[in-house]
Amino acid sequence: MIRSQGLTYQYANGPRLVFPDVDVTQGTVLLLSGPSGCGKSTWLALVAALVAPTSGALWVAGQSLSELNRMAADAWRARTIGFLPQKLHLSAALTVQQNLAMAQWAASQPEAPGRIKAALSALGVAELAARLPAQLSGGQAQRVALARAVLLEPQVILADEPTASLDDEAAADAVRLLLSTARAQAATLVIASHDARVAALISAESAGQIGFVPVQFIRNSL
């Protein structure tokens, strides 16, 4: 679940962002739309407890985020949030396998090669385990990054502009993978996107089996 009330964020030397209230149950697909610069990525950072709001309250997966100090927030994030960032941030010097092992290590989990293999298999990239990120296509790299994001079966999956710079076929693929992964893990899925194709893709790919909640972010005044 994600619930927010009166959330605002003031950037030092930047805009004051005012966010619409959200209240969704576990397993919901949430689409954040709105023009570039309206605050979608900032909202994802708030939900992941990477930054604290200037005002307002936020509950994610049953946790009131204002009650977490910095260290508790890191631990909470590691076990609760799967983040597919716009820039994938795969470590260039590590293989696909090692990139996923790093994620287990960062979350204080024992290294579990079987779990890594299962996550890569679920996304159709198990045969790429020994490759370096530079040896992957864009689509393959995104699948690997998604496998890493959901490796620890997070309750919430956050995807920032997952279809940016993808052609129609690859964009449909990315949305399909996000939906099927979230469904398989009963996770709440948040897709932040200014891509007009995404709403239609969610409807098409889910074939009416899931409801999704579109949240329109308005352009905030500076």
Residues interacting with ligand ADP, by CB under 6 A?
11, 13-15, 17, 36-42
**Binding-site partner at residue 139 among Mg ion, ligand ADP, none, CB < 5 to 8 Å by type:** none
Residue 54 contacts Mg ion per CB under 5 A: no
**17 backbone dihedrals φ, ψ, rounded to 5°:** -100, 135
Residue 180 contacts Mg ion per CB under 5 A: no
User: Which of 209/221 has CB closer to ligand ADP?
Assistant: 221
CB 82 within 8 A of CB 150: yes
**Binding-site partner at residue 13 among Mg ion, ligand ADP, none, CB < 5 to 8 Å by type:** ligand ADP
Nearest approach in angstroms of CB 197 to ligand ADP is 17
Alpha helices in 23-137 (DSSP H): 40-47, 70-80, 96-106, 113-122
Nearest approach in angstroms of CB 38 to Mg ion is 9
**Binding-site partner at residue 39 among Mg ion, ligand ADP, none, CB < 5 to 8 Å by type:** ligand ADP
Nearest approach in angstroms of CB 52 to ligand ADP is 14
Query: How many secondary structure helices (H) and strands (E) does the chain include?
Result: 7, 10
Which residues 6+ apart lie within 8 Å of 217 measured at CB? 19, 20, 32, 33, 34, 38, 39, 40, 43
User: Which of 100/171 has CB closer to Mg ion?
Assistant: 171
Range in contact with Mg ion (rule: CB under 5 A) among 22-30, 36-44, 151-159, 206-214: 36-44
Residue nearest to ligand ADP (CB): 14
User: Which of 45/126 has CB closer to Mg ion?
Assistant: 45
Q: Which residues pair with 159 in a beta bridge?
A: 84, 191
d(CA 53, CA 220): 16
Tell me how far CA of residue 145 lies from CA of 69, 76, 103, 119, 125, in angstroms: 28, 20, 10, 11, 11
Nearest approach in angstroms of CB 184 to ligand ADP is 27
Residue 41 contacts Mg ion per CB under 5 A: yes
- Reading the block at residue 218, the tokens are 């308005």
Which residues inside 60-99 make contact with Mg ion, applying CB under 5 A? Answer: none
Q: Which of 60, 220, 213 is nearest to 52 (CA)?
A: 60
Residue numbers at the binding site for Mg ion (CB under 5 A): 40-41
